[in-house]
Amino acid sequence: YKQEDILGVPVDILTMSDIKRDLLTYFEENKKMTLTSVNPQILLMAEQNEKVKEFVKNSTHKIPDGIGLVKVSKWTKGQIKTRVAGIEVMHEVLHFANEHKKRIFLLGAKPEVAQRASENIARDFPNLTVAGWIDGYTKMSDHDIVSKMNQAQTDMVFVAMGSPKQEEWLQNNLSVLNAIVYQTVGGSLDVISG
């Protein structure tokens, strides 16, 4: 995608329909797709956190999330016109998973929240499979978490541990995971569980 530099962080000029189309393509081509919400918090963190910066830079989809980014783009005569909210992207990804009978895995939030979120997702999207969930405060090692996701034949991973933990976790573990789609979703499981 055409990119725009916002305070030193690359952001893609893309819309929801681009994401929808790419989901199909990445599955067809068996390539990893990393959906990263770039919000004001990430912009600030990336400045001091090399891992977060690397993760964002290497993400296939650097999603402009937040009206602040749209405004900065406008002031700097950029082309980012619309905010693409992370929770809406997650909804589209789940919709895709449902349509194509994919297997999803949730990592993050408090145990009861993660459990309730997976129950709600399974109820609302009956044709996808929740292959598993692990809360964001687990004492499991990254190695064990990765093994569990891979053994569950996960197609899509949603990481909901807040920033920078979720970005760091994916930056550290992406290379050994076998899923296709990865999305950092912040506090979305709290919303879905409610």
- Between residues 11 and 66, which has the closer beta carbon with respect to ligand UDP? 66
63 binds ligand UDP (CB under 6 A): no
- Binder among 18, 110, 119, 150 for ligand UDP (CB under 6 A): 110
Separation CA 83–CA 28 (nearest Å): 27
Collapsed DSSP state (helix, strand, coil) of residue 114: helix
**Residue closest to ligand UDP (Cβ):** 136
Separation CA 63–CA 56 (nearest Å): 10
164 binds ligand UDP (CB under 6 A): no
Q: How far is the CB of 67 from ligand UDP (least distance, A)?
A: 16
Contact yes or no for 132/185 (Cβ under 8 A): no
- Between residues 78 and 162, which has the closer beta carbon with respect to ligand UDP? 162
68 binds ligand UDP (CB under 6 A): no
Where helices occur in the chain by DSSP H, the ranges are 16-29, 40-48, 50-58, 67-75, 86-99, 111-124, 142-151, 165-173, 188-193
Token duo for residue 78: 């950029």
- Binder among 63, 90, 161, 181 for ligand UDP (CB under 6 A): 161
190 binds ligand UDP (CB under 6 A): yes
Separation CA 27–CA 167 (nearest Å): 22
Collapsed DSSP state (helix, strand, coil) of residue 184: strand
Residues 114-153 that bind ligand UDP (CB under 6 A): 136-137
Residues 79-108 that bind ligand UDP (CB under 6 A): 108
Q: How many residues bind ligand UDP (CB under 6 A)?
A: 14
Q: If we measure between CA atoms, which residue out of 37, 31, 94 comes closest to residue 64?
A: 37
| Span of 15-23, 118-126, 175-183, 185-193 interacting with ligand UDP by CB under 6 A | 185-193
- Provide the binding-site residues for ligand UDP, judged by CB under 6 A: 108-110, 136-137, 160-163, 165, 186-187, 189-190
